[in-house]
Amino acid sequence: MENHKDSQKELEQIAKNTEKKTKIKVSPKDVEDIISAVKTTGNFWQIVNFSQKPIPVIAETIRLLKKYGYIDFENENIKVLEKLEKKFDYIPKFINELICPECQGRGINIKAIGIYEEFFEIQKNRPKPIQQYDQGNITPDSTIARVSMMRLRGDIAKKRIIVLGDDDLVGIALALTKLPEEILVLDIDKRLIDFTNEVAQSRGLKLKAEVFDLRNPLPKEFNRNFDVFVTDPPEAKKAFQTFLQKSIWCLKGVGSVGYIGMTLIDSSLHKWSELQKIILNSGAVITDIIRDFNKYENWDYHQNTLAWKIAPVKSPANTIWYVSAMVRIQIVRKPVAKNTLMKNKDIYIDTESTTT
Amino acid sequence: MENHKDSQKELEQIAKNTEKKTKIKVSPKDVEDIISAVKTTGNFWQIVNFSQKPIPVIAETIRLLKKYGYIDFENENIKVLEKLEKKFDYIPKFINELICPECQGRGINIKAIGIYEEFFEIQKNRPKPIQQYDQGNITPDSTIARVSMMRLRGDIAKKRIIVLGDDDLVGIALALTKLPEEILVLDIDKRLIDFTNEVAQSRGLKLKAEVFDLRNPLPKEFNRNFDVFVTDPPEAKKAFQTFLQKSIWCLKGVGSVGYIGMTLIDSSLHKWSELQKIILNSGAVITDIIRDFNKYENWDYHQNTLAWKIAPVKSPANTIWYVSAMVRIQIVRKPVAKNTLMKNKDIYIDTESTTT
């Protein structure tokens, strides 16, 4: 017991020092989660995956753990030392087996919607993610799971749906169900828009895609025009607010729905609480938060990101490690929604986001 | 298209009338969800299960649908008429197959934690739910899933855990993992406390249970004493706030965690938005909302509840229909937490709760 109190104090100390260095809120529980991940894998990106903390927090915690003699680096891998086993003997490994192997933790059966094979074939020719647009697409499984969840919640049939940014090809998957009344995809990347329109045309899908820089105000005719939006907003607080309000501005009103991808890798839980307040203050309620729902394929420009730069060891990211939560919201009262210009500084002022 | 606009107007009208009658906020989307459920099953309790709305809202909507000639009642079942098929042809049935059959939508593999069989045997002798204490227990699968989720999120090993109200036997399941530092179960029902203590004693489990009326202030020594709480709070707004604050008052602080069962059957989404604000204003963030996670076994006193009384048809509730969402919260800043007396009127003033 005395030993356990010592361990607790050590966690608190590491949390405090990490917070001081990163300017991101860090709790002893965060450090515990990182140690649990370190015990599970030696690969830095998998530690990110298991612990689900902002990368600067993980990087600094690992640097401190090394400094205090708990771990060592070996061939770009992280090695647990005896001191860590002793001091933190009670912290268990992450048990991957507790996640449902059938649905990978999403709770969704992606086979029942019946578009998997067609979508899988189509997406093989998708444009590759590029850094200029902060792209990175989720796996085809994740896209189908998103659409399946939308179907399960009654958010597709005869609905007018707007997809704000769509390197995940959610628009195409939605159109393949043949259920929506209208699907509009906006993206800044002409390659994606051309690809989406070509697929739509060649297969006779009810789907329209337009090149649009989402930092600009949206066309007036979008106001109160859609039942559902789908988007992965920027996660800097100010940018999130602007983006969310613009998305909600497109919705018809009470009963309308939004699907939002949100990460814990570019946001701390402390920031999440701020973002959740923004959601509630906009007139919406959060109906679902399913962690690790959207699984991202690794992207080519990973080694040019800040995340790579601050990684304490340069382990390759061979398997999927970047994931995001699927958050569904629904409007419950007259929304607070402005359609404003988003300034570049709004997007990028944030100490927690590093993967763009 | 003209036809669709007509249908939309009709949904709006039914929503408005239902809201007027029930004094609960109702959106056209709510009515749509109920019609989708009506198309899926003729059993009233399964309509509740599929549509996930407060029972007064469903009951009144169904009464209106009958009045307008969309449905009829036959042998205590609800029958869809041609007029409904025509007017709301676009509303699809609920597709149960979209829920992962392996984990029943929870995303959790309950086999990996290795206590299932033992727990299943133990719980066979549990005291039966009684109306006096508003009891109703979740299935053994649901209890194991809850504990598995806690293990997955790193909230069990060496943790001090308080269970506030425990007809679900979460305390016993936690103790079987042999991982927690301390488990304290509080419940008003002496039968449950005796059962829990007997199991603990006969199997040498680290688990203590005490008879306690949770409306009373908690003993002073509980303050900042626990890492994790588990509870299914009352859902009337004032009672929820009092109960949540008391639970948080037991937690050590930033990084501590709470597991809360929350329903959409005794709460509307509009009330959920108020309850979520209470959570955020208490210094916590919502980290997970997994719908339909806790599945309740049918209880003997069902026919003595308000829910039964207001049901428009008296279909038997033969299969599981009452479910709740698993909501996990984590403290991210100095909590706002008072340990106050809860008055009876706080608990019961609510138009939405009918199953107690």
pLDDT tens-place string over residues B70-88: 999 999 999 999 999 999 9
Q: Per-residue pLDDT averaged across B200-206, rounded?
A: 97
Report pLDDT digits (tens) over A82-103: 999 999 999 999 999 999 999 9
Instruction: Give me the pLDDT at residue B302, please.
Output: 86
Judged by CB atoms within 8 Å, which residues 151-210 of B form the interface with A?
151-152, 154, 157-158, 179, 181
B42 SS3 class: coil
Residues 6+ apart with CB under 8 A from A154: B29, B32, B33, B36, B91, B92, B94
B97 touches A: beta carbon within 8 Å? yes
pLDDT given for residue B275 in this prediction: 98
Asked if B244 contacts B323 with a C-beta cutoff of 8 angstroms, the reply is no
Q: How far apart are CA B284 and CA B330, in angstroms?
A: 5
List of chain A residues whose C-beta atoms are within 8 Å of the C-beta of residue B105: 107-108
Q: Is B80 helix (H, G, I), strand (E, B) or coil?
A: strand
pLDDT of residue B49: 97
Instruction: Note the pLDDT of residue B197.
Output: 98
- Residues in chain A within 8 Å Cβ distance of B270: 285, 332-333
- CATH topology for A116-348 is Rossmann fold (3.40.50)
Residue B103 in this model has a pLDDT that exceeds 60? yes
Cβ pair A255:B102 closer than 8 A = no
Chain B touched by A28 (CB under 8 Å): yes
pLDDT at A134: 79
Instruction: Look at B17 and A128; give whichever has higher pLDDT.
Output: B17
> From the list A27, A107, A276, which residue is nearest B255 (CB)?
A27
Site from B49, B113, B158, B288 to mutate, A interface, most A CB atoms within 10 angstroms: B158
pLDDT of residue A133: 82
Of A95, A272, A290, which has the smallest distance from its Cβ to B285's Cβ? Answer: A272
Decide if B324 touches A, using CB distance below 8 A. no
- pLDDT score for B271: 97
The answer for A 33-92 residues in CB contact with B (under 8 A) is 33, 36, 90-92
Whether the predicted pLDDT of A235 surpasses 60: yes
**How do residues A165-222 score in pLDDT, each as one tens digit?**
999 999 999 999 999 999 999 999 999 999 999 999 999 999 999 999 999 999 999 9
Residue reference for tokens 């100390």: A13
**Interface-testing mutation among A50, A177, A224, A273, with chain B (most B C-beta atoms within 10 A):** A273
* B157 → closest Cβ in A30, A91, A102: A91
Determine what percent of chain A is predicted with pLDDT higher than 70. 98
**pLDDT for residue A182:** 97
**Residue at token pair 């337009």:** A210
ipTM: 0.96
Which numeric CATH code is attached to A2-91? 1.10.10.10
Round to whole Å and give the CA distance between B193 and B198: 8
Predicted local distance difference test score (pLDDT) of residue A85: 95
B25 interfacial to chain A (CB closer than 8 Å): yes
Find out whether A102 and B101 touch, Cβ atoms under 8 Å. yes
Structure tokens at B52: 């996930």
CB contact, 8 Å: B276 with chain A?
yes
From chain B, the residues in CB contact with A272 under 8 A are 285, 287, 332
Interface A-B: count of C-beta contacts within 8 A: 184
Mean pLDDT of chain B: 95
Give the pLDDT score at B351: 81
Q: Which two tokens stand for residue B150?
A: 């806690």
Residue A88, classified by CB atoms within 10 Å of its CB into exposed (0-12), middle (13-18) or buried (19+), is: buried
Categorize the per-residue pLDDT at B345 as very low, low, confident or very high, splitting at 50, 70 and 90.
low
Residue with tokens 């990182």: A34
CA dist B168 and B199 (Å) reads 14
Mean pLDDT score across all residues of chain A = 95
> What pLDDT is recorded for position A342?
85
User: Is residue B131 very low, low, confident or very high in pLDDT (cuts 50, 70, 90)?
Assistant: confident
Tell me which residue has tokens 């919201």: A329
* B151–A98 CB contact, under 8 Å: yes
Sign (positive or negative) of CA dihedral B166, B169, B175, B177: negative
Identify all chain B residues contacting A103, using CB atoms and an 8 Å cutoff: 100, 102-103, 107
* Count of other CB atoms within 10 angstroms of residue B354: 19
Distance CA A353, CA A265 (A): 8
> Of A122-131, A150-159, A225-234, A287-296, which range is least confident?
A122-131
CA–CA distance, A288 with B11 (Å, rounded to integer): 24
For A159, the closest chain B residue by CA position comes to B90
Across the strands, what pairs with B186?
B164, B210
Token pair 């133990």: residue: B122
Both tokens of A257, joined, read 């729905």
Note the pLDDT tens digit of each residue in A12-44.
Answer: 999 999 999 999 999 999 999 999 999 999 999
Domain limits, chain B: 2-90, 116-348
Predicted local confidence at residue B134, as pLDDT? 79
SS (H, E, C) chain A: CHHHHHHHHHHHHHHHHHHHHHCCCCCHHHHHHHHHHHHHCCCHHHHHHHHCCCHHHHHHHHHHHHHCCCEEEECCEEEECHHHHHHCCCCCCCCHHHECCCCCCCCECCCCCCCHHHHHHHHCCCCCCCHHHCCCCECHHHHHHHHHHHHHCCCCCCCEEEEECCCCCHHHHHHHCCCCCEEEEEECCHHHHHHHHHHHHHHCCCCEEEECCCCCCCCHHHCCCECEEEECCCCCHHHHHHHHHHHHHCECCCCCEEEEEECCCCCCHHHHHHHHHHHHHCCEEEEEEEEEEEEECCCHHHHHCHHHHHCCCCCCCCCCCCEEEEEEEEECCCCCCCCCCCCHHHHHCCCCCCCC
Mean pLDDT on A268-283: 97
Q: Output the pLDDT for position B3.
A: 83
Nearest alpha carbon to residue A310 among A42, A22, A50? A22
pLDDT of residue A347: 67
Instruction: List the Cα angle A112/A182/B41 in 5-degree steps.
Output: 40
Output the CA angle B327-A330-A232, nearest 5 degrees: 85
Question: Tell me: domain B2-90, CATH 3.40.50.300, correct?
Answer: no
Question: What DSSP string describes B197-231?
Answer: HHHHHHHT-S-EEEE--TTSPPPGGGTT-BSEEEE
Task: Note the residue count of chain A.
Answer: 356
The reply to whether B272 touches chain A by the CB within 8 Å rule is yes
pLDDT of A142 above 90:
yes
Question: Is pLDDT above 60 for A1?
Answer: no
Query: In the structure, what pLDDT confidence band is assigned to residue A275 with cuts at 50, 70 and 90?
Result: very high
The model's pLDDT over B225-279, given as tens digits with 9 standing for 90+, comes to 999 999 999 999 999 999 999 999 999 999 999 999 999 999 999 999 999 999 9
Residue B41: φ, ψ to 5°: -150, 150
Percent of chain A with pLDDT over 90: 87
Average pLDDT over residues B139-163: 98
CB B200 within 8 A of CB B208: yes
Which of A27, A154, A254 shows the shortest C-beta gap to B27?
A254
DSSP 8-class letter at B91: P
DSSP labels, B120-141: HHHHTTPPPP-GGGT--PBPHH
| C-alpha of B173 from chain center | 19
Contact residues, B window 201-260, toward A, CB-based 8 Å cutoff: 254-257
Q: What is the distance between the alpha carbons of residues A193 and A221, in angstroms, rounded to a whole number? A: 20
Question: Which pLDDT belongs to residue A346?
Answer: 64
| Mutate: best of A4, A29, A97, A110, partner B, most B CBs <10 A | A29
Largest CA distance in chain A: 70
CB-based contact B91 A157, cutoff 8 Å: yes
Give A112→chain B minimum CA distance, Å: 5
Is residue A98 less than 8 Å (CB to CB) from chain B? yes
Residue B288 forms contact with A (CB below 8 Å): yes
Rg (CA), chain A: 21
Residue type, B15: A
What pLDDT does A106 receive?
98
CA-derived radius of gyration, chain B: 21
Return the pLDDT at B352: 82
Q: What is the SS3 string spanning B225-260?
A: CECEEEECCCCCHHHHHHHHHHHHHCECCCCCEEEE
Dihedral sign, CA of B267, B269, B275, B279?
positive
Nearest CA in chain A to B112: A98
Check A332 against B27: CB less than 8 A apart.
yes
The CA distance from B252 to A153, in Å, is 37
A313: its two tokens: 């060891």
Chain A residue numbers with beta carbons less than 8 Å from the beta carbon of B90 are 157-158
What's the pLDDT score for residue B2?
Answer: 59
Query: What's the token pair of residue B109?
Result: 């593999």
Cross-chain residue pair B109–A91, CB shorter than 8 Å: no
pLDDT at A348: 62
Nearest to A279 by CA among A335, A223, A350: A335
Place of tokens 């929506």: A180
Beta bridge partners of B72: B79
Chain B residue numbers with beta carbons less than 8 Å from the beta carbon of A291 are 287-288
pLDDT at residue number B350 = 77
pLDDT digits 0-9 by tens, B285-322: 999 999 999 999 998 888 888 999 999 999 888 889 99
pLDDT, residue B348, reads 61
Number of Cβ within 10 Å of residue B140's Cβ equals 21
Residue A68 Cα, gap to closest chain B Cα (Å): 23
Q: How far is A332 from chain B (nearest CA, A)?
A: 5
